[in-house]
């Protein structure tokens, strides 16, 4: 209803990537409504959202409808470090968000190469894009472009705040190297946080609740 009232084909409707939101994502995509899946904090959340998008597209194909319905899956990044930094040694500060991103990007690359996604693309669908959200650096001692440089990757979107965009411009035009498709040292870094007493699963639950409040 909101999408129809706006009358703009490029309008994305935000739907939470919660268990309750997944059927709504699938249904909206089936009806041709672009969706911005929000409230994602992990690769597992992202994969569930991607599955809902793919199911909606598959239903459109089965009904003879055009499969080109765009979507993004928004993974919140800087919030990981905001919560983790007070509880870890200095050498681990501002590293958890990028590690979570590396894990998610590896899963995303694997998804893009999967037979299921290939079938959808062959039918004319464009893959749902992984979107890096909350990418303004919150720690004044860290680089203002931390989540821009560290999350540069093909087939992704970065919703850059104005202050971060200005910082990128001030730092010059050299593009950062793209993220490793295998996630780089993401799993090693996440293991280091576990050794330091930061459980990523518990922290993710805290993040989710804090956003809702």
Residue 103 neighbours by CB under 8 Å, 6+ apart? 42, 43, 183, 186, 187, 190
Q: Is the pLDDT of residue 202 over 90?
A: no
- Which helix H or strand E contains 37, and what residues bound it? strand 35-40
Q: Are 112 and 170 in contact (CB under 8 A)?
A: no
Q: Which residues are the active-site residues? A: 14
Neighbours of 112 (CB within 10 A): 17
Provide the mean pLDDT of the chain: 92
Residue 35 neighbours by CB under 8 Å, 6+ apart? 12, 13, 14, 15, 25, 28, 29, 53, 71, 72
**Arithmetic mean of pLDDT, 113-118:** 98
Distance of alpha carbon 133 from alpha carbon 22, whole angstroms: 19
What pTM was estimated for this model as a whole? 0.92
For residue 131, list its beta bridge partners: 74, 157
Helix axes 96-112, 43-62, angle to 10 degrees: 30
Q: Are 56 and 28 in contact (CB under 8 A)?
A: yes
Report the pLDDT value the prediction gives residue 171, as an integer from 0 to 100: 77
Instruction: Output Rg (C-alpha) for the chain, integer angstroms.
Output: 18
Confidence of residue 15 (pLDDT cuts 50, 70, 90): very high
Report the pLDDT value the prediction gives residue 203, as an integer from 0 to 100: 77
Instruction: Name which of 78-87, 97-106, 181-190 the model is least confident about.
Output: 78-87
pLDDT tens digits along 149-198: 999 999 999 999 999 989 888 876 677 889 999 999 999 999 999 999 88
**Arithmetic mean of pLDDT, 105-122:** 98
pLDDT tens digits along 85-95: 998 999 999 99
Higher pLDDT, 197 or 109: 109
For residue 190, list its beta bridge partners: none
Higher pLDDT, 123 or 176: 123
**Arithmetic mean of pLDDT, 57-63:** 98
Report the pLDDT value the prediction gives residue 129, as an integer from 0 to 100: 97
Q: Is the pLDDT of residue 51 over 90?
A: yes
Distance of alpha carbon 35 from alpha carbon 38, whole angstroms: 9
Residue 195 neighbours by CB under 8 Å, 6+ apart? none
For residue 14, list its beta bridge partners: 36
């Amino acid at each position: 209803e909101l999408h129809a009232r706006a009358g703009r084909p490029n309008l994305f409707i935000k739907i939470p990537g919660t268990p309750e939101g997944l059927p709504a994502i699938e249904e909206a995509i089936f009806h041709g409504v672009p969706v911005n899946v929000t409230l994602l904090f992990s690769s597992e959340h992202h994969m569930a959202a991607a599955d809902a998008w793919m199911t909606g597209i598959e239903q459109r194909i089965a009904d003879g409808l055009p499969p080109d319905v765009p979507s993004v899956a928004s993974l919140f990044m800087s919030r990981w470090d905001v919560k983790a930094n007070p509880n870890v040694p200095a050498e681990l500060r501002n590293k958890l968000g990028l590690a979570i991103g590396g894990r998610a990007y590896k899963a995303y690359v694997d998804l893009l190469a999967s037979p299921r996604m290939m079938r959808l693309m062959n039918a004319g669908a464009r893959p749902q894009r992984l979107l890096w959200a909350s990418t303004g650096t919150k720690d004044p001692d860290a680089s203002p472009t931390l989540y821009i440089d560290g999350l540069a990757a093909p087939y992704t979107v970065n919703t850059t705040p104005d202050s971060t965009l200005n910082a990128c411009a001030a730092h010059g035009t050299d593009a950062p190297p793209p993220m490793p498709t295998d996630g780089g040292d993401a799993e090693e870094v996440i293991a280091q946080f576990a050794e330091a007493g930061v459980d990523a699963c518990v922290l993710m639950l805290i993040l989710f609740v804090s956003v809702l409040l």
